[in-house]
Amino acid sequence: MTNALSHAYKRLFDRSGVIICLTLVAVLISGVGAVQFSSDYKAYFGKGNPELRAFEAFEARYSQGDGILIVLQPPETVFTDSNLHSIAGLTDRAWQTPHSTRIDSITNFQHIESDGDTLVVSAVLEDPESPVPLDSEVIKTKTLGEPLLVNRLISPDGKTTGIYITLVLPGEEHGGHLSESVAYVRELVGEFREEKRDWKVAVTGLALFAAAEVEVTQNDLVRLAPIMIAVIAVLLLVCLRSYVAVAQILVIVLLSTASVLGLSGWFDILLNPTSAISIVVVMTLAVADCVHIILTYQDRFNGEPPSRDRVMACMKLNFEAISLTSLTTALGFLALNFSDSPPFHDLGNLAAAGVMVAWLLSILLLPAMMSLSNVSARVVIPADRQVMSSLAEFVIRHSKTILIAVGLSSLVIISAVPHLELDDRYVEWFDSSVGFRVDTDFATSELTGPYMLEIDIDSGEPGGVAEPEFLRFVQDLENFGVNHPKILHVDGYASLQKKLNRAMNGGGEDDYTIPTTRELSAQYLLLYEMSLPYGLDITNRISLSKSAVRASFTLIPASQSEIALTVTELESWIAQHKPTRVKATVTGTILMFVHLAERNIKSMLVGTGLAFGFIAILMMIVLRDWRLGLLSLVPNVIPVAVTFGLWSLTVGYVGIIASIITATTLGLIVDDTIHLITKYARAKERDNLSTHEAVMETFAHVGKALWVTSMVLAAGFFVLSFSSFRLNQEMGVMTAITLVVALILDFLLLPAMLMMFHRDSKCRCRVCQSRCRGEQLTVEAGTR
């Protein structure tokens, strides 16, 4: 610290530091009562996201909203008198779902038939309470012969069926409305399960996806936070050997975490599985500064009674380094504001704020606690420093060999990165312990796929959907979907017009064609609309102005690359075949998520680049040595690349987390480098040591602190692997791997690089002259 800064800090430390900290924390924590959770999956997309805007325009045009699919599988077949009545009864009760606008099932599907010259539109079971016996075989034939139902609401074998509830939730912040709808359906399904204990029943759909987000968020916070605190406490106790020291660190951790939670309440930041994990992240990050301060005290004053002067001496040695590391860590997380996904903004901002709160508590509250209680280790192990000195000696002796070995091995691992696939399907964000995932997997295997592409087809004029040329294009588009290997089910307007034409012309198969004139098509549609019962109109398939229709393609389970290829093929076909005036837009939730990772990677390249550049400039300014600054950057670039290489070799694919992991880990892994480099530079400048002596000195005094903080951070982030949310799992494991790799490189590669490229010519010791080949070092480590 400079003299002026030292004096100012001492005054603050002596007079008002604790009061400032406790007041700030109290104000922040008071916001905890306003914490809210988000159940809107659209929160992952910024307001300017083109896929989101296209999808919202589609929803507005067709009065479409999120849905709930109830999947039913009786013991043998759907088509018995009793089972059909049960399905019809459940369909009828589903109409009571809050905010529901439409209920679709096989029992209320409106079949189109003809009776002479009369158009007959009716369901197979109009009244669930009717005592009239059903002809199950006729119903089975009619249902399984309807392409709009098979692979959507009835399985081809007739053993599984579904009831689809369409919801339109009022307002933008509709979390309460959604939970109301989901709660009703779950209660309804629970009652049905009690009545039909031998049936398999599952509940899925986008509304359940949104509800699962809230549930997973709350569950992770309740479940992971105690695990992380326990892991941190045990590791710290083993490393610091002081109950008092561990207790003081946990106070800083808990206050920092509570402050961040309160901060989210103050600024109305809605927590979802991604943003809420910042709470757990801060628990881990708050440890690092405390460990460096306490280990410095134990290194210099272990066994001596606590005093303000001794604590102040520790702070003078650590203030610059912990301030710089806190700043760089915060910068890494703030780079997430360049992400295309708002929850990552919230994660970055909350984590950065938590880091700075932890820094403030570490430099003001922790010293005050240390001056009042003894944080000395109960058991002192002299071998700790000897191990670090031996490691330093080994690295110095074999710097050239280590440089080559580490460099080549890193390049080999990094070469696997191009083979890493991007795969991000939102259903698989949840692991198999989450009910939504289990039910969705069951629905996918037994009935229909969870991912759907929607095509909004605009004729370009009011009433244009009746134009034969337009209908032929829609028909060809539907045929493209039917024949595509990745598309399971097609629901389109052309097939409706062909059924109407057949019914109005005697019911012959030769008349299953597009009406020959615009007038006929319009008349058939009008007759059909007049025949539909309330709640089952076709405004969900056709715009009010009759200018546009939708085609829905349900996809078979496929990887993100396969889905992206299908979309490309679909858009290419549309561009080649559509009439001039027709505009067809491919949209859908899966399309939004497919593009999300790609957009994030592109946007985060800018954010990460800026953060890296700023950290590099900051390092050079602080170290006042551009060569040393540049050397310090190398071990901070390689770890993330090595992690991606290892991930490619072991897992093979990664999701949206790939776009942020570089930014989030950059601020973390640079911390160890800063502590090593600042101590090394101080040893050379202040103590006038040679390069190898400075390396020995650095390892002896900060080596233990580095591996303790790195192991605690790695273990803390690894706890995220127990999350039920895949994004958090991947972030935790990849960050833990990166931290371990970075520690190895800081202990091996960085000192080797210093010996090779930062040796001072004035040094005439045997080490520097002989390049440390086989000679015994004479420098005693730790004497300064």
Higher pLDDT, 343 or 4: 343
Please, which pLDDT band fits residue 520 given cuts at 50, 70 and 90? very high
What's the rounded Cα separation, in Å, for the pair 260 and 276? 10
Are residues 612 and 670 in contact, defined by beta-carbon separation less than 8 angstroms?
no
Phi/psi of residue 154, nearest 5 degrees: -150, 135
Higher pLDDT, 458 or 66: 458
Are residues 695 and 396 in contact, defined by beta-carbon separation less than 8 angstroms?
yes
Are residues 781 and 699 in contact, defined by beta-carbon separation less than 8 angstroms?
yes
Please, which pLDDT band fits residue 778 given cuts at 50, 70 and 90? very low
Classify residue 448 as left (phi > 0), alpha (psi -120 to 50) or beta.
Answer: beta
* Interval 650-695: pLDDT, tens: 988 888 887 788 878 887 888 888 888 888 877 777 777 777 788 8
Please, which pLDDT band fits residue 783 given cuts at 50, 70 and 90? very low
Q: Is the pTM of this model over 0.85?
A: no
Please, which pLDDT band fits residue 303 given cuts at 50, 70 and 90? confident
pLDDT of the residue at 784: 39
> Residue 577 corresponds to which tokens in the numbers above?
């075949």
pLDDT of the residue at 380: 53
Comparing 10-19, 204-213, 360-369, 609-618, the range with the smallest average pLDDT is 10-19
Which residues make Cβ contacts (< 8 Å) with residue 442, sequence separation at least 6? 71, 200, 202
What's the rounded Cα separation, in Å, for the pair 33 and 708? 35
What's the rounded Cα separation, in Å, for the pair 236 and 233? 5
User: Percent of the chain having pLDDT more than 70?
Assistant: 92
What's the rounded Cα separation, in Å, for the pair 531 and 147? 21
Comparing 112-126, 273-287, 457-471, the range with the smallest average pLDDT is 112-126
> Residue 318 corresponds to which tokens in the numbers above?
């650590």
User: Percent of the chain having pLDDT more than 90?
Assistant: 39
Rounded-to-10 torsion of CA 400, 405, 410, 411: 90
* Interval 681-737: pLDDT, tens: 777 777 777 777 888 888 877 888 888 888 888 998 898 888 888 888 888 899 999
pLDDT of the residue at 128: 66
Please, which pLDDT band fits residue 781 given cuts at 50, 70 and 90? very low
Give the CA distances from residue 175 to residues 179, 205, 407, 516, 721, in Å, rounded to whole numbers and listed in that order.
Answer: 6, 16, 51, 48, 27
Q: Is the pLDDT of residue 772 over 50?
A: no
pLDDT of the residue at 383: 59
What is the average per-residue pLDDT within 226-251? 89
What's the rounded Cα separation, in Å, for the pair 747 and 734? 20
Please, which pLDDT band fits residue 228 given cuts at 50, 70 and 90? confident
Q: Is the pLDDT of residue 739 over 80?
A: yes
Beta-bridged to residue 103, according to DSSP, are 165
Looking at every residue in the chain, the average pLDDT score rounds to: 85
